[in-house]
Amino acid sequence: MLATKDLDQFRQQVRHFVADQLPNDLRQTVHQGQMPTRVQLHDWHARLAAAGVLVPHWPAEWGGRGWTVAQQMVFDEEMALGGAPELNAITFDMIGPVLMRFGSPAQQQRFLPTIATGQQWWCQGYSEPNAGSDLAGLATRAERDGQDYLVNGSKIWTSYAQYADWIFVLVRTDRAGKPQEGISFLLIEMNTPGISVRPIVGIHGWPVFCEVFFDNVRVPVDQRVGEEDKGWTVAKSLLEFERLKLARIGENKRRMARVRDIALSRTRGGRRVADMPWFRERFAELESRLIALEANAARFVARQAAGERLGAEVSMLKMRGSRLIQLWEELIVDALGPEAMPLSQEWLEGKAGATLQDPLAGTASSRRFLARGYTIAGGTSEIQHNIMAKQVLAL
């Protein structure tokens, strides 16, 4: 693990890199709280890949630099504070490491070099209409047909499936035994016949989530990761790393800075919002929560660096981090007041006669509504409380 001094120097290097390399149009898009386009993200991925920092936490043999978790979290934080968009964690932090750990040599050679270029987009097929965070209850089935599986069923809340090239899917291959058994982990190309995608426009007005339908989709057996009926093991390993990343320290700090800027630039009754007691109290509380979250995350990073395997208790980072993002977004809306009322799409299309001081206000309500999903994505907080109660507190 890097010494504190070395990590501070590393932070400065990342900060300068983001300032020099992030395209201005993308920085502006993120600053205004808007959704980057697929073209913008692909261009940014290409820049990061050319600099060797798209997947720096990967081993060198697969195009990475072998960064520690501490370095990766500093990198993510400085990217967020510098105005860069969140990277596609499903592609670079989930399926990549899963293939390194469980994939066959042929699968690794086929996928990892392409993923490392940033030009292959993946989505995650876990949640289903009747089995959200309860993955053991999934019903999408895959039946053997010679050297293929025939996959039938559907997935929901699949983020950005409309842009994805591939999807990794949990399917049921055996209905006997415990619910966690009989699950397999498949890799499926999105242009395979029988797959259809239906974007879901949420209350925020943005097509972030999708339904994905599988109608007799033929998937070669060699696109299964791990053993048949043993996909639960693969899924659990993926979620363990995901929880650590989902503390979202950088994203919380980005929102804290956004709240501060808004409060300093708005007045009510001739008084700055930043000076109003209600705002100061709420801001101080959330800042304290963020400090505590960052300290707790550092504790888990130190444990992992020491070679300790993290258990279910790491879920507390995900629960705290996602809830904190929601609270920041709510404070942004309250600080903006009536400016935050229109949805971004209404403002962008000139509807409702909205007159706003800046584009950031025009996306505030959409971001606040979108943030409601943070305590669902990656495993709902209710399910995570149950997991911690059983596995950590033995209740």
According to DSSP, the β-strands at 166-172 and 122-125 are parallel
Residue 156 and residue 128: Cα distance in Å, rounded?
A: 5
To which residue do tokens 């659990």 refer? 236
Cβ atoms within 10 A of the Cβ of 234, count? Answer: 23
To which residue do tokens 């060198």 refer? 60
Judged by DSSP in three states, 214 sits in strand
Residues serving a catalytic function are 242
Judged by DSSP in three states, 16 sits in helix
Q: CB under 8 Å to 129, separation ≥6 — which residues? A: 154, 156
Could you say which DSSP state residue 148 is in?
Answer: E
Output the DSSP codes for 228-291: TTBHHHHHHHHHHHHHHHTT-HHHHHHHHHHHHHHHHH-EETTEEGGGSHHHHHHHHHHHHHHH
**Residues 100/116, Cβ–Cβ less than 8 Å:** no
- Provide φ and ψ at 321, rounded to 5°: -65, -45
Query: In this structure, what token pair is assigned to residue 286?
Result: 């959330």
Residue 191 and residue 212: Cα distance in Å, rounded?
A: 12
Q: CB under 8 Å to 161, separation ≥6 — which residues? A: 123, 167, 190, 197, 199, 210, 212
**Helix boundaries (H) for 82-199:** 89, 96-102, 105-117
Residue 238 and residue 54: Cα distance in Å, rounded?
A: 19
